[in-house]
Amino acid sequence: MSVRIVTALVAKDLSLFFRNKFFGLITILGIVAYIVIYFVMPSSVNETLQIGLYAEVVPPAFQQVAEEGIVFETFESEDALIEAVTEGQYAAGVALPPDILDLLASGEKPQITIYSAADTPEEVTDAVEIIIRELAYLQAGQPLAVDISVEVLGPDMLGQQIPIRDRMRPLLAVFLVMFEMIGLASLITEEVQQGTGRALLVTPMRVRDLFAAKGVVGVGLAFVPAALFMAIVGGLSSQPLIILTALLLGSVLVTGFAFLIASLSRDMMSALGWGMIIVIIFIIPAFGILFPSTVSAWAKVIPSYYLADTVHQASAFSAGWGDVWLNLLILVGFDVAVIWAGIIALRRKFR
């Protein structure tokens, strides 16, 4: 392999990439837009559940619960409470009967109404109902005859929940890595379509020089924007080496897929079409991080899962090499397989 030739080809490809207004603009705008999105998103998580309350007499138990992450905001009338809940100002509203204390003391069941807006998740309504029952027990002096202990599985994030923007970091980084796959595939497709590849092949350049150059360009175009993004949004403040390694392996992966896409494409539009299909599939695991429990275990068959999960584990939970080594190993396996398949498939076009 000739370093001189590979360097010349890399310089040429980068020059052509950024002269293509579409890809050049999308790359730069992509980084800027994702950084803006990150900083616009809330930087903290509000862990307090705010509940509207209408009661002529507020039972003492209801006044004490604020310390436990539940805040009752009192209203002058039941109508005002209903209006506030309807407008979405509160997750739910509770209306207590005027004689609640007497009824609780006499052991009778008071009628308590919980108001919730139409779009309030069922889990929230259920949680509020449980809170009210607990408070009623407390007020009646008959606590539940059980001791409840809470076991936190994994890092205890109580009081330090991951803000939505930090959950989005892996998604945005993975998106930046993935998008460059389409750019590289288009670049290669154009090389074949315009016949410039044929002109290169009658020079001292070897096919392996060509693939090396395309590989360097592909990995560079995918890795640099993603690493830059992570650095700017503070994603490298924890376990930077692991995150950069994962992004690098992810960049190799998308380069292999770019080779495969280019081998299937006849022009830029078909490269875009194939590329978008793969990008959509590859983004799924990253959405699983943003919205936990929305993605099933089958997402693990998608290679990008191991990239997104590693970046998330390392940046959000400071996971070490011991925690992510298997992810990285699987990613290396995918890299080798996909690059090999991509080169085999694409070689046909340069013969």
User: What are the two backbone dihedrals, phi and then psi, of residue 37, each rounded to the nearest 5 degrees?
Assistant: -55, -45
CA distance linking residue 262 with residue 348, whole number of Å: 11
As measured in angstroms, the least distance from the Cβ of 28 to another protein is 18
The reply on whether position 294 binds another protein by CB under 8 A is no
Smaller CB distance to another protein: residue 11 or 326? 11
Letters for 22-61 (x = contact with another protein by CB under 8 A, - = none) are ----------------------------------------
Any contact of residue 201 with another protein (CB under 8 A)? yes
List, in order, residues 6 or more apart from 36 with CB less than 8 Å away: none
| Binding residue for another protein, selected from 203, 237, 294, 318, defined by CB under 8 A | 203
Smallest distance, another protein to C-beta of residue 225, A: 21
- Residue from 3, 150, 152, 202 touching another protein (CB under 8 A): that is 202
What are phi and psi for residue 123, nearest 5 degrees?
-60, -40
Nearest-angstrom CA–CA distance, 343 and 252: 13
Give start and end residues of each alpha helix (H) in 195-267. Answer: 196-201, 207-232, 240-264
Instruction: Indicate whether 217 belongs to the interface with another protein (CB under 8 A).
Output: no
Q: Which of 30, 73, 179, 199 binds another protein (CB under 8 A)?
A: 199
Interatomic CA distance for residues 194 and 321, integer angstroms: 46
Return the number of the residue (42 or 195) whose C-beta is nearest another protein: 195
Residue 241 binds to another protein (criterion: CB under 8 A): no
Length of the chain: 351
Beta bridge pairs of residue 134: none
Which residue, 79 or 267, is less far from another protein as judged by CB? 267
Number of residues that bind another protein (CB under 8 A): 22
Is residue 195 close enough to count as binding another protein by CB under 8 A?
Answer: yes
| Residue 110 φ/ψ region, left for φ over 0, alpha for ψ in the -120 to 50 degree band, beta for the rest | beta
Q: Which is nearer to another protein, 7 or 48 (CB)?
A: 7
Interface with another protein by CB under 8 A: which range of 5-13, 138-146, 170-178, 299-307? 5-13
20 binds another protein (CB under 8 A): yes
Return the residue matching tokens 């070689």.
Answer: 347
Instruction: Enumerate long-range contacts of 33-42, CB under 8 Å, 24 or more apart.
Output: 34/172, 34/175, 34/176, 34/229, 35/229, 35/232, 35/233, 37/165, 37/168, 37/172, 38/165, 38/168, 38/169, 38/172, 38/233, 39/165, 39/233, 41/163, 41/164, 41/165, 41/168, 42/163, 42/164, 42/165
Q: Which stretch binds another protein (CB under 8 A): 112-120, 143-151, 198-206, 333-341?
A: 198-206
Q: Which stretch binds another protein (CB under 8 A): 12-20, 24-32, 84-92, 143-151?
A: 12-20
| Residue numbers at the binding site for another protein (CB under 8 A) | 4-5, 7-9, 12, 15-16, 19-20, 194-196, 198-206
